[in-house]
A and B are shown apart, each in its own frame.
Chain A
């Protein structure tokens, strides 16, 4: 049996992608129109990482799981009421922006400092998890920089699976081009894994997990340090959302092949 793991998941909140998201320029840089009233959700990519981490913690008794999350405190709190029903974790909250337009280096420094300050964290048995992408604005480098700052050199991105051996080594499957996976063997922790979708479904809402989590989540939120991000030297030339085009047609009993063919034809016309 492998030693107990210490898993830290970096996962933030993002504006609910189902809402009307409209980029605007604010006095402090790019932002979203009506940002204040947009509901937030836990970043779906980080959610995969969190669920995989919780699954590992369940498999290896004595393991611990921390969720390090940066976002505006009020929104963080609201999202926690949903995510805290899913899996047990200890929260490290940072009161800061979550709109996706911050500088990745600054964000990574804050996250790394927060992780380094976790009491009882055994960095030799650390697995640092996060999403390899983000639903807000994937800079694509934040997690890697967090790892570098913490001195974690074994890094894997686009991970769909981790299999741990009894001797503490593990096998990682990373997504590569062509719908294939690259299989790597790693001698042991510490390591960083940026998760793709993984293989687990979203856990059910469990009221007991929620109750247990809230005993640590609320104090963590109350203790959340305010993070200041200067964004000095960072400029955005242009911000835009991917163009959407919607055309709805209701059909019944249409074979899947025909539906697929029609969609392909529609896309090729666009």
Chain B
């Protein structure tokens, strides 16, 4: 919004005690623990509200998505912290939840010959094919007979986070001690010097640039003694706090991945039992890892992770996901299945190294955006939940002792708890687990094994590059396979017909065209409607903008267009990226894939708070 307009807007304001941003697993853990402790055994509040006289502490959580179960992901988790909160947790009570029954680690060979495999991997593949009769190689895949202990999830659950969040949220709301408001994005933190004094909700009734239109309603300022930020890896408030306060010395957030997933109705006669878990590696590209989790009722979550250290500028997750599900090893189970739901999200894969300041004056950070993901064990949900419970215990302590939410006090009751918990050594152990991937797949796997098998004592230490520094130009990436003039011709042709460049290049390089069947294999645009049910309520500004048009002009890679999970960013006028809010799933991958960064490392693409997105609670 223009400054002159901002200056004449009269903003309403409201005082609460604790304002929370984002409702995911971390906030679920925080609010569940907090709400249980806000009143004593006699039902009397442990502290008075400082915002509303005579009331118990007022706790309000604002969630961007249209419902508390939308826009999150499906997981397999050991659920140690979740079970500590719900000792009688019974997966029967949560739709799509199942206890883990079997787990397999599967190496997928390349059945079509288009995958870019390093020489050593090609040799290994040939050896596997050669000795197939002697090895457990079936359906172009090797079921690895042992999985290292650090990857075991045997005592955990397969969950749909959407359904789990609904379950947690309904209990919280029924308790009446906290309020959760979906469909309300938070635009920015309110700062008074070094102190966070609350949050500002997004303006409503604006045009796409944020300027007031008919029905304008200025975003309310919510003043709070404590602001709890759990808005995820690409959350607007977390990112703005990081920009304002920086990261602790030595920390950085340079490793990312985009996770994309189908939820599939399996054929009625499926042999897969609920609780079955497959983790895969090797295909569609060596750098892309995959998974398949089986829920009750013949439903499976199947997906891939495309990491930031994958050096391809052709980074379309959707096309890769379609090839992944058609791999013979998976297709034997998925053929005849039907797409129920689809979604994508960014993952902050710097783990402990991406940790921001956990406590500020008047503010605390929890969840994935607080660096809680264990990048060695590929585990984030339970860890995020745990950070929420730890903060809640600390907040209750401060409320009981009537101490203010200063940085020092929050460090004492929250950061110290976190450091003393099981989470800290596990995160530290995995801190360098993925460093090796900066030098490629094989080095990365060696690094993971080294870290995992030595309990983090031995590591490959490699300085992480910024994501855009990993991405090569098309010409460089395809050197030896396509010549420059052919790439240029394909590019021109795609631009003039407004076709997808990555599709054309992948097809040219041997990836077969996807034979759409209207059931499981559908176009991305159909997936947006059939699976993602993407919505964008009117009256909000665009949440994806570009700082400098010039930077986009000079950008040859246009990775934002190629990576976009929903084709919400396309080549617009003059080839400049054009954003269509109605197709955006809010995965945020465009932000960290932008190749145009300024001196401070900020990408030219700005990813702000926004309304709408995925509308499926099955993810």
Contacts and interface: CB of A to CB of B under 8 A. Distances in A.
Contacts of A82: 66-67, 182-183
Given A82-B183, A250-B498, A204 B14 contact: no
B79 to A, nearest CB: 19
- Identify the 9 closest CB pairs spanning chains A and B, nearest first: A37-B95, A18-B533, A204-B204, A204-B217, A248-B525, A39-B617, A74-B170, A218-B176, A18-B615
Residue of A34, A39, A246, A248 with highest tally of chain B CB at under 10 A: A39
Interface in B28-78: 60, 66-70
Nearest to B338: A20
Interface string B356-386: 0000000000000000000000000000000
Interface of A: 16, 18-20, 34, 36-39, 74, 77-78, 81-82, 85, 201, 204-208, 210-211, 214, 218, 221-222, 246, 248, 250, 252
A211 B17 CA distance: 13
Interface residues of B, number: 49
A105 B616 CA distance: 33
Interface of B: 12, 14, 60, 66-70, 95-96, 160, 163, 166, 169-170, 173-174, 176, 179-184, 201, 204-205, 215, 217, 220, 222, 297, 340-341, 498, 518, 523, 525-526, 529-530, 533, 535, 539, 567, 615-618
Contacts of B182: 81-82
Contacts of A37: 95-96, 160, 163, 166, 617-618
7 contacts: A34-B95, A37-B166, A78-B68, A78-B173, A207-B220, A207-B222, A210-B179
A255 B70 CA distance: 35
Nearest to B299: A34
Nearest to B66: A82
Nearest to B69: A39
Contacts, number: 95
Contact of A250 (B68, B201, B525): B525
Contact of B14 (A16, A208, A222, A250): A208
Contact of B539 (A16, A204, A222, A252): A204
Contacts of B518: 246
Contact of B616 (A19, A36, A204, A221): A19
Contact of B174 (A74, A85, A206, A211): A74
A208 B201 CA distance: 12
B297 A204 contact: no
Given A201-B215, A204-B539, A206-B217, A85 B183 contact: yes
Contact of A19 (B529, B533, B539): B533
Nearest to A84: B181
Contacts of B12: 208
Given A18-B533, A37-B618, A78-B173, A207 B201 contact: yes
Nearest to B525: A248
A217 B212 CA distance: 31
Given A19-B616, A204-B539, A77 B173 contact: yes
Contacts of B523: 248
Residue of A77, A204, A218, A252 with highest tally of chain B CB at under 10 A: A204
B183 A205 contact: yes
Given A78-B67, A78-B173, A204-B204, 9 more contacts: A34-B297, A37-B95, A37-B163, A39-B67, A74-B174, A207-B181, A246-B530, A248-B526, A248-B529
Contact of B535 (A18, A81, A250): A18
A245 to B, nearest CB: 9
A201 B173 CA distance: 28
A77 B617 CA distance: 16
Nearest to B533: A18
Nearest to A37: B95
A248 B294 CA distance: 30
Given A16-B615, A77-B170, A204-B205, A210 B525 contact: no
Nearest to A33: B297
A53 B60 CA distance: 28
A205 B529 contact: no
Given A18-B533, A34-B95, A77 B184 contact: no
B526 A246 contact: yes
Given A204-B539, A246-B529, A78 B169 contact: yes
Contacts of A252: 498
A81 B525 contact: no
Nearest to B617: A39
Given A18-B615, A37-B163, A201-B215, A214 B179 contact: yes
Contacts of A18: 533, 535, 615-616
A208 B533 contact: no
A55 to B, nearest CB: 13
Given A18-B533, A78-B169, A82-B67, A204 B215 contact: yes
A38 B69 CA distance: 10
B530 A211 contact: no
B375 to A, nearest CB: 31
A208 B221 CA distance: 11
Contacts of B215: 201, 204
A20 B160 CA distance: 16
A235 B170 CA distance: 33
Contacts of B204: 204-205
Nearest to B12: A208
Nearest to B539: A204
B90 to A, nearest CB: 14
B146 to A, nearest CB: 35
Contacts of A16: 615
A16 B341 CA distance: 14
Nearest to A221: B174
A20 B340 contact: yes
Contacts of B615: 16, 18-19
A20 B615 CA distance: 11
Contacts of B529: 246, 248
A36 B170 CA distance: 13
A211 B67 contact: no
Contacts of B567: 250
Contacts of A36: 95
A206 to B, nearest CB: 7
A41 to B, nearest CB: 9
Nearest to B265: A20
